[in-house]
């Protein structure tokens, strides 16, 4: 008798979860990875874990603001990567200079880390629903 009550209840919860307007962890991870790529840091970091702390729906169902906690893992050590960038003759000199400056900022924030080191981060993330799914809005 109890199973007859629990089964429909579980079905309702499953339907509610499927209809959620909140992006899932994979979508958030992809958005954060895209930001790393745009900052020329995707070769240095990868996002390994994501947790939504709070969701703030915006006007309509096409925008949402999320407070997220995530972990970044170093794909390689900062000193090693900095040497690679500085010695990459195939990169434009201005691009190398910009990357070295960005890496100096990374060093200030995270110190001189090694491959496999992890960093826990928290931030607010704005996402917009597009035809291709949830994306970070472009300015």
Strand order in the sheet with 133-135: 45-57, 63-74, 118-130, 133-135
* 69-98 pLDDT tens trace: 999 999 999 999 999 999 999 989 898 898
Instruction: Round to whole Å and give the CA distance between 113 and 99.
Output: 17
The pLDDT value given to residue 26: 92
* 95-137 pLDDT tens trace: 889 889 999 999 999 999 999 999 999 999 999 888 888 888 8
Reply yes or no on whether the pLDDT at 17 is more than 50: no
Strand partners, 71: 49, 120
Token pair, residue 127, equals 């996402």
Instruction: Round to whole Å and give the CA distance between 115 and 77.
Output: 5
> Which residue spans within 2-105 are E strands per DSSP?
45-57, 63-74
Residue 2 forms part of a structural domain: no
- The model carries a pTM of 0.76
Domain extent for 108: 23-135
CA angle 11-12-13, nearest 5°?
90
Residue 74 forms part of a structural domain: yes
How many separate domains does the chain show? 1
The pLDDT value given to residue 33: 94
CA-wise closest residue to 62 among 138, 133, 139:
133
Instruction: Round to whole Å and give the CA distance between 97 and 108.
Output: 17
Residue 17 forms part of a structural domain: no
Residue 120 forms part of a structural domain: yes
Residue 73 forms part of a structural domain: yes
Residues with Cβ within 8 Å of 89's Cβ and at least 6 positions away in sequence, in order, are none
Residue 6 forms part of a structural domain: no
CA-wise closest residue to 41 among 102, 95, 101, 109:
102
């Amino acid at each position: 008798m109890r199973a007859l009550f629990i089964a429909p209840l579980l079905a309702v919860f499953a339907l509610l979860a499927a209809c959620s307007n909140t992006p899932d962890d994979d979508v958030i991870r992809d958005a954060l990875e895209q930001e790393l790529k745009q900052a020329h840091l995707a070769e240095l970091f990868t996002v390994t874990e994501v947790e939504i702390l709070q969701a703030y729906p915006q006007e309509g169902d096409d925008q949402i603001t999320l407070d997220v906690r995530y972990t970044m893992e170093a794909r390689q050590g900062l000193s090693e990567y900095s040497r690679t960038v500085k010695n990459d003759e195939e990169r434009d000199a201005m691009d190398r200079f910009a990357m070295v400056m960005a890496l100096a900022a990374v060093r200030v924030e995270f110190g001189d880390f090694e491959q496999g080191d992890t960093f826990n981060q928290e931030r607010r993330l704005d996402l917009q629903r597009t035809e291709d799914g949830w994306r970070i809005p472009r300015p």
